């Protein structure tokens, strides 16, 4: 059955990038304001990055849980409105050096103590809503809360460095820590309750306004996660629970060492023997959050790259076949009305295209990739099929202004000839890229907010294979104006995307 997305346009903005006086974007007022902006701009879609709790490096693609929400995104003003926090206490906290970037060191230090105050002031534990939430999410909630509590008890150490009895989940140890860390476990469960409570309100508002949410699901779980600790039988680990091999991608034109992601690989045979139960629950949880789910690194479902554990680069990895259609069919049985999007970027092989096409999944096209090569380039708009999503660039790419300002010689001449631009027009190329994508047959066109604003690479979201300066850029209050909404709205009308 073909997955079709209604013709339209949308913007990509992570939750952490929303304006907020408290150092990081949240599910509060600014999220609702952004939805209102999307409506004024004639948009239909809001795409976010993964919303799970982030670990070392702050990447949303390395999370402590494939099911939990990020406590950083809990809106503090909403907790004040509930009487759980005092606004004056929030105003006295230093939340970072600038509103344009997230200071994760500050957020990590300040966020949890203030959330703990809200927890201690709350009487949620005996409410029907909380008890229902716990029952609905029992598959993962208590295990995740115990994982975080034990991690805190061990000063944040990776679970592979915990004492053997709890590392290997011996029953006596599990019972011991559940009793010892009871209040901490309750705290982590409270945070999830509040995250999902606020998320549901926001999603309902988006629905009322006609805005569809597109979420992003990392294909792999992080090694230091409740998923791997609890369900290690579904991963390629040795008898000491250490990975045999980890995920990555081979060397290419962009990286001579390849990319070493470090995530443990799935034991696909064990998952299949269990009818993909873990994956089924995972996609079902995502379907409860979003109207469409983008499966990151979809190519890995068909063929994955395995790098021996301990290698410093991805040069010595090898390819192996994944579950392919068996997994996708299982996932489609769980998603209901939620759509699945295939992030089919990377080195394409026939088997990936065959799976995507046979299951009717929309793939992705990137304008920044369109002008490398000849006129048969799949990312060139003239070659699009209708059932796809076109992006100016993804969160892993340069901003449009940053990218095209650096193109010289042949790529630049090709761009100008293809788009009918002169030298002067090329200097202000970003609006022309929007028109190129919007006018294409692609069912959906999505751009990063940074590109709406015409920003350079100082506003880049992520640069793969680097650390320290990623996942930080934030939209500041008032930066999106009526000029921007009017311009986008006119484009959606011109090219039938309203």
Pair of tokens at residue 489: 């709205």
CB contact set of 302 (below 8 Å; sequence gap of 6+): 321, 322, 324, 349, 351, 352, 355
Q: Which residues, listed in sequence order, are joined to residue 293 by a DSSP beta bridge?
A: 215, 340
Q: Could you give the residue ranges of the DSSP H alpha helices within 122-181?
A: 128-136, 141-153, 164-167, 171-180
- Tens-level pLDDT at each residue, the chain (498 residues): 566 799 999 999 999 999 999 999 999 999 999 999 999 999 999 999 999 999 888 999 999 999 999 999 999 999 999 999 999 999 999 999 999 999 999 999 999 999 999 999 999 998 999 999 999 999 999 999 999 999 999 999 999 999 999 999 999 999 999 999 999 999 999 999 999 999 999 999 999 999 999 999 999 999 999 999 999 999 999 999 999 999 999 988 768 889 899 999 999 999 999 999 999 999 999 999 999 999 999 999 999 999 999 999 999 999 999 999 999 999 999 999 999 999 999 888 999 999 999 999 999 999 999 998 889 999 999 999 999 999 999 999 999 999 999 988 788 999 999 999 999 999 999 999 999 999 999 999 999 999 999 999 999 999 987 888 999 999 999 999 999 999 999 999 999 999
Pair of tokens at residue 339: 């759509």
| CB neighbourhood size of 400 (10 A) | 26
N residues, the chain: 498
- Give the integer Cα–Cα distance in Å for 469 and 462: 8
Handedness of CA 92, 93, 97, 99 (dihedral sign): negative
Angle between helices 325-332 and 277-289 (to 10 degrees): 50
Cβ(392)–Cβ(451) under 8 Å?
Answer: yes
Superfamily (CATH H level) for 8-494: Glycosidases (3.20.20.80)
Domain boundaries, the chain: 8-494
Active-site annotation, residues: 296, 343, 396
pTM of the predicted structure, to 2 decimals: 0.97
Residue owning tokens 């029907």:
128
DSSP 8-state class, residue 243: B
């Amino acid at each position: 059955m073909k997955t079709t997305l209604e013709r339209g346009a949308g913007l990509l903005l992570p939750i952490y990038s929303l304006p907020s006086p408290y150092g990081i974007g949240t599910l509060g007022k600014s999220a609702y304001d952004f939805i209102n902006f999307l409506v004024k701009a004639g948009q239909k879609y809001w795409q976010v990055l993964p919303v799970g709790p982030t670990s070392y490096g702050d990447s949303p693609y390395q999370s402590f849980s494939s099911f939990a929400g990020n406590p950083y995104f809990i809106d503090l003003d909403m907790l004040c409105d509930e009487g759980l926090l005092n606004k004056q206490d929030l105003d006295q906290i230093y939340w970072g050096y600038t509103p344009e970037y997230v200071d994760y060191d500050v957020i990590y230090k300040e966020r949890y103590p203030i959330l703990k105050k809200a927890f201690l002031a709350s009487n949620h534990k005996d409410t029907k809503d909380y008890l229902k939430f716990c029952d609905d999410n029992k598959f993962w909630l208590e295990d995740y809360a115990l994982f975080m509590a034990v991690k805190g008890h061990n000063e944040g150490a990776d679970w592979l460095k915990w004492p053997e009895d709890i590392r290997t989940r011996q029953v006596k140890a599990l019972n011991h820590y559940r009793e010892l860390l009871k209040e901490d476990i309750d705290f982590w469960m409270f945070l999830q309750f509040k995250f999902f409570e606020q998320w549901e309100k926001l999603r309902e508002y988006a629905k009322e306004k006609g805005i569809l949410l597109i979420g992003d699901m990392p294909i792999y779980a992080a090694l230091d996660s409740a998923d791997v600790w609890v369900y290690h039988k579904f991963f390629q680990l040795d008898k000491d629970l250490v990975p045999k091999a980890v995920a990555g991608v081979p060397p290419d034109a962009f990286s001579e060492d390849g990319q070493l992601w470090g995530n443990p690989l799935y034991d696909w045979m064990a998952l299949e023997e269990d009818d993909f139960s873990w994956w089924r629950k995972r996609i079902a949880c995502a379907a409860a959050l979003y109207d469409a789910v983008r499966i990151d690194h979809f190519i890995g479902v068909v063929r994955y790259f395995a790098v021996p554990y301990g290698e410093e680069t991805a040069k010595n990895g090898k390819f192996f076949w994944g579950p392919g259609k068996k997994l996708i069919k299982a996932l489609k049985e769980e998603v209901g009305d939620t759509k699945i999007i295939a992030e089919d970027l990377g080195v394409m092989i026939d088997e990936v295209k065959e799976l995507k096409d046979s299951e009717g999944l929309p793939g992705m096209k990137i304008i920044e990739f369109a002008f490398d090569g000849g006129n048969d380039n799949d990312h060139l708009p003239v070659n699009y099929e209708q059932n796809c999503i076109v992006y100016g660039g993804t969160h892993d790419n340069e901003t449009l202004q940053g990218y095209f300002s650096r193109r010289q010689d042949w790529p630049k001449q090709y761009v100008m000839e293809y788009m009918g631009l002169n030298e002067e027009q090329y200097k202000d190329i970003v609006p022309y890229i929007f028109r190129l994508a919007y006018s294409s047959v692609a069912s959906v066109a999505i751009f990063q907010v940074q590109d709406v604003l015409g920003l350079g690479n100082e506003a880049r979201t992520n640069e793969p294979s680097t650390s320290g300066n990623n996942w930080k850029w934030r939209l500041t209050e008032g930066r999106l104006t009526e000029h921007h909404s009017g311009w986008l709205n006119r484009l959606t009308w011109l090219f039938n995307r309203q």
